[in-house]
Structure formats: structure tokens, C-alpha cells
A = this chain, B = another copy of it.
Amino acid sequence: MSTSARIPLLLDVDTGVDDAIAIALALRLGVFDLVGVTTVAGNVELERTTENTRRVLAWLGAADVPVARGMSRPLVRPLRTAAAFHGENGLGGFEPPPSPAATYPETAPEFMVRTARERPGEVTFVCVGPLTNLAVALGLEPDLPRLVRRVVIMGGAYTVPGNSTPAAEFNMYADPEAGDLVARSGLPITFIGLDVTHQVVLRRDEWEALEVASDPAARLVREVCVHSFVVRGIERFHLHDPLAVAVAARPGLVDVRESGVEVVTGLGERAGETLLVDRPGLPRHAVALGVDADAFGALFRSTLGLDGTPG
């Protein structure tokens, strides 16, 4: 596909193991023009999510993609990371070499707002971290819903339990107020929650087979998952963020329900819970409740060269 025909993509990340894999997928799918990556505090602190993002891009030969650093904390809550899950450095201990690229000067909300204004109606946002940057961008440019083509968000747990609390998925738990502002906005959103991401996994045997991989994307997958399969001892690694990227390329991978979405805020124990709500006046979004896991798996493996095919 010629670059000009590609989908202009802005990727908002808190890299993070599965964010790293999502970046690789976005680069390798061949359907996106990655106009920039914005970073936010989440899985680990902002300095680390930004540095990880820069290194991952460089590792994948994409050091020239702008990396705009964003919010270092949720709107009003203290930062609660998931370092136990992603390893202290956020990449499961894997340290790609530093990026040769110069630091990009713009902040993430500015990058979001400017990109959307310059290319009204064209750019797809895929947000796979806490929604702080997008909430600030909406505060700065209330017209954003009209300026963005589409937003795919990895976040929420709509018909299943959460993973940070019984009620809440991590990205929504980390910044419920941001999630609420985003969900109540008129942005055209597809929500990819645990309902579907818990169905798409990298199995231990698939991961073990990567020991001999040479392709940088496949090697990246191998290395960032060491912490999960070895230290944490899991058998199946959930591909949360990669699924959101894949859906931006192929919406048909998921079955969606059109519904209003509310995110529980406040001081109670359900903060970050995501609710499907039908209420007059509430913007309706597409919420993924089913996924063609086989189709995603085939796409994922072939794109990243996990099946021996060069990506």
C-alpha cells in the first residue's frame, strides 16, 4: 500500500509490555501511516514510558516517528503504576538500545490537537494507556470530536470483571475522571475492553518458539514477555493493546454493541468501572463484546513473523 493511501494513525501509549507489541504491530501491519506516538504515565512512570517508546521505535527501525511526551500523572488522582505486571522498567526487563532521535519538543495533548486540526477528519487515534492525554486534549479543543476520524481505546471491562479491581480495568482505574470525560464526549469511539482482550493471547508454546526468531519484531515480543512467562509464570499473555491496533486496521475483527458508556468516578470502591448505559442525550459508542480470536491470531502472528513468516 502506498504511504499516501495509508490510515494516518496517532498512537497513545504507556509502554508497557503489550504497548511495545502494539507499536510493533502498528508499524508492521502496513496499513498505517504512524504520524506520531504520544506517551502517558500508567504502567510505569512517564519518564520510563517515554524512553521505552523511543527505544522500541528505534529497535523496530522507526526512530524517526515523533514521540510526544504527555501527562506525568492522572488528572487528579495519584499515579498508581502496574510495575509488578510490566517489570520495573515497564518492558519486562528488556532494554533496547537508546534511540538516536532527538527529543521531540511538543507535548502529547498539543500533538493531538495540532494533528487533528491540520488534518481534520483524517487521523485515527488508538489510545492504549490511561486516557489523561486525550482528556486534556478535549479540554483544550472541544471540537476534537469533529476533527478526529475515529478513536479506538483499549480500556474498560463491560460485561466481565476488571483486572485492577473486581470492577475496573487498569487504564480506566488509573484515571477514571479522564475516562469519564472521554466517554461522555462526542468522540467516535470503539472501546476494546477485557471482554475481548482476554480472548486474544500469546501462548507459552508460541512464546517459546520465538527463542530462535531473528526478526526484530519477533525478538521484541520474545524479550518483553520473559518477565511474564518466567518471573510471573503465566501460561497465556493477553494481547490487550495489540488488539486495539488491529481493530483500527480491521474493524470487522470485533462484534460491537452501540451504547452509551459511563465510567464510575468518585470515592467509592467501583471507581474505574465501565458501564453500558442507554440514556437519551448520552453519546453512543461502539463497544466490542465479541472478537474473532482466530482471525486476530492469524493476523498477529503473520504480521510479526511469529509463524516463521517474515513480518
Partner-B contacts on A (CB < 8 A):
69-73, 75-78, 105-110, 113-114, 117, 132, 136, 139-142, 158-161, 166, 177, 180-181, 184, 262, 264-270, 273, 275-281
Contact = CB atoms under 8 A, between A and B. Distances in A.
A267 B77 contact: yes
A39 B267 CA distance: 23
B279 A275 contact: yes
Contact of A136 (B136, B158, B184, B268): B136
15 contacts: A69-B140, A72-B140, A75-B139, A76-B76, A76-B266, A105-B114, A107-B140, A136-B136, A177-B267, A177-B268, A184-B270, A262-B275, A264-B264, A273-B279, A275-B277
Given A110-B107, A275-B279, A279-B276, A72 B142 contact: yes
Contact of A265 (B184, B268, B277): B268
A104 to B, nearest CB: 12
Contact of A278 (B109, B110, B276): B276
A108 B113 CA distance: 12
A-B complex: 10 closest residue pairs judged by Cβ atoms = A265-B266, A78-B269, A266-B266, A110-B110, A107-B140, A76-B177, A71-B139, A275-B277, A76-B267, A77-B267
A264 B267 contact: no
Contact of A71 (B140, B158, B266): B140
A20 to B, nearest CB: 23
Contact of A107 (B69, B78, B113, B280): B113
B268 A76 contact: yes
Determine which residue in A78, A181, A184, A266 has the highest number of CB atoms from chain B within 10 A of its CB, and name it.
Answer: A266
Nearest to A158: B279
B268 A180 contact: yes
